[in-house]
Amino acid sequence: MPEEPWQELVRADSFSMKLKPRDVTSAAVFAVLTAVGAWTSIPLPFTPVPFTLQVFFVVLSGVILGAMRGTLAQVIYVLLGLIGFPVFAGGESGPSVLIGPTGGYLVGFILAAYVSGRIAQTGRSPTLRRMTVASLMGLVPIYALGEIGLWLWLRSPMSFLLMAGVIPFLPGDVIKAVVAALLASREQLRRFIR
């Protein structure tokens, strides 16, 4: 009896993937790259959110590694910071960062890698169009959870929150997402990393 389409999706779901040592290694590499992106931190005078290169490596981890390994990369990154490694923006670490004004963005990184990875995996070949959509859609959970975290911290009106956590960063993050898509659409790079 032929399978229903949803049964095939459930069977092929990336959650059932068994991790191999190279999967963990590639996830760890992207966790380190995200940390390097955090060290490139430029504080802005009007917001507690600094400008960093993290978003580039977060969406790149999703579109290159796929949903599960990209998510694993960001989980490793956040856990490293939580246990005390100075991998967060400005060399910060510890649980206080997660409950601070930028904590929502950190949680958003995990979901962003999953979202961008899931969209990137929806075809046989990594077309530039799909990689661009995947990278841009990865920005949505980062901003959504980041704004929630900012609101919990600042309790300010939405107009202020948008100026503090979205509008100044959006143009640069769109450029980062497009560059990540350009890299991810290169089959040679994907083959090398995978």
- What pLDDT shows up at residue 19? 78
What is the rounded distance in angstroms from the CA atom of residue 106 to the CA atom of residue 148? 12
Q: Is the pLDDT at 5 greater than 70, yes or no?
A: no
What is the rounded distance in angstroms from the CA atom of residue 53 to the CA atom of residue 85? 18
Confidence of residue 86 (pLDDT cuts 50, 70, 90): very high
Two tokens, residue 122: 């929806």
Averaged pLDDT, 3-7: 40
Averaged pLDDT, 86-95: 95
Q: Helices marked H in 54-123 — which ranges?
A: 54-65, 67-82, 95-98, 103-120
User: In this structure, which amino acid lies at residue 145?
Assistant: L
Confidence of residue 192 (pLDDT cuts 50, 70, 90): low
Q: Is the pLDDT at 112 greater than 90, yes or no?
A: yes
Does CATH place domain 19-193 in 3.30.70.240? no
Query: Can you name the residues that pair with 42 across neighbouring β-strands?
Result: 51
The torsion defined by the Cα of 120, 117, 145 and 42, in degrees rounded to 10, comes to: -90
| Percent over 70 (pLDDT), the chain | 87
Residue 186 belongs to what H/E stretch? none
State whether the Cα torsion 5-10-13-19 is positive or negative.
Answer: negative
Residue of 183 and 16 predicted with greater confidence: 183
Would you say 141 and 115 are in contact if contact means Cβ atoms under 8 Å apart? yes
What is the rounded distance in angstroms from the CA atom of residue 80 to the CA atom of residue 64? 21
DSSP string, 31-70: HHHHHHHHHS-B--TT-SPPB-SHHHHHHHHHHHH-HHHH
